[in-house]
Structure 1
Amino acid sequence: MQPTFTSIREARRWASLFLQKEQREPRVADLLLEHFLGWTSSQLLAFDDKPMPSEVVEGFVEAVRKHAKTGIPVQHLTGVGHFYGREFQVNEDVLIPRPETEELVLGIMEYVRQKNLKAPRIVDLGTGSGVIAITLATELPDSIVRGVDLSEEALRIAAKNAAQHGADVRFYQGDFLASLLEEPFDIIVSNPPYIAYSEKDQMDDTVVDFDPAMALFAEEEGLAAYKSILTQVSHMKQKPKCIAFEIGHQQGASLLSLFHDLLPEFLAEVRQDINGKDRMVFAFSG
Structure 2
Amino acid sequence: MAKQTVLAILQAAKQQLQMAGQDPELAQYLMLEGNQWRFTELVQHYREALSPTQTQAFQAQLARVCAGEPAQYVLGYAPFYGREFQVTPATLIPRPETEELVEWVLQVVQQPTAKVIDVGTGSGAIAVTLKKERPTWLVTATDISDAAIAVAQKNAQRLTAQLTWATGDLLAPVTGQRFDVIVSNPPYIDRTEMPEMDTSVKRYEPEQALYAADHGLAFYQRFAQVLTTYLVPTGDFFAEIGYHQGAAVKQIFKQALPDAQVTVKSDINGHDRMIHVHLTSKG
**TM interval, short-chain normalised:** over 0.9
Is 2:180–2:232's contact at 8 Å kept on the other side of the alignment?
no
1:247 maps to what in 2? 241
The code of the aligned residue for 2:91 comes to V
Q: Distance in 1 between matches of 2:232 and 2:175?
A: 9
Q: Distance in 2 between matches of 1:236 and 1:159?
A: 23
Deviation readout 1:222-244 (Å, 9 max, x if unpaired): 00111112212243473452111
1:206 maps to what in 2? 200
Is 1:233–1:239's contact at 8 Å kept on the other side of the alignment?
no
1:53 maps to what in 2? 51
TM-score (norm 1): 0.94
Q: Find 2:102's aligned residue among 91, 99, 105.
A: 105
Q: Is the alpha carbon distance of 1:4 and 1:184 closer, same or farther for their aligned partners in structure 2, counting shifts above 3 Å?
A: farther
Q: Is the alpha carbon distance of 1:239 and 1:209 closer, same or farther for their aligned partners in structure 2, counting shifts above 3 Å?
A: farther
Q: Distance in 2 between matches of 1:151 and 1:227?
A: 21
Percent of aligned pairs with the same residue? 35
Q: Distance in 2 between matches of 1:42 and 1:263?
A: 53
Give the deviation of 1:177 after TM superposition.
1.1
**Aligned-partner SS, 1:250:** coil
Greater shift in the superposed pair: 216-225 or 52-61: 52-61
Q: Distance in 2 between matches of 1:220 and 1:268?
A: 21
Give the deviation of 1:97 after TM superposition.
0.4
Q: Distance in 1 between matches of 2:83 and 2:133?
A: 12
Q: Find 1:88's aligned residue among 85, 89, 96.
A: 85
Give the 4+ runs in structure 1 shifted more than 3 A: 234-240
Aligned residues: 280
Q: Find 1:166's aligned residue among 160, 165, 171.
A: 160
Q: Find 2:17's aligned residue among 13, 16, 19.
A: 19
Unaligned runs of 5+ in 2: none
**Aligned-partner SS, 1:226:** helix
Q: Find 1:156's aligned residue among 145, 150, 160.
A: 150
Give the deviation of 1:213 after TM superposition.
0.3
Q: Distance in 1 between matches of 2:262 and 2:31?
A: 44
TM-score (norm 2): 0.95
**Aligned-partner SS, 2:117:** strand
Q: Is the alpha carbon distance of 1:256 and 1:55 closer, same or farther for their aligned partners in structure 2, counting shifts above 3 Å?
A: same
Q: Distance in 2 between matches of 1:7 and 1:237?
A: 58
**Aligned-partner SS, 2:204:** coil
- RMSD of aligned residue pairs (Cα, Å): 1.6
Unaligned runs of 5+ in 1: none
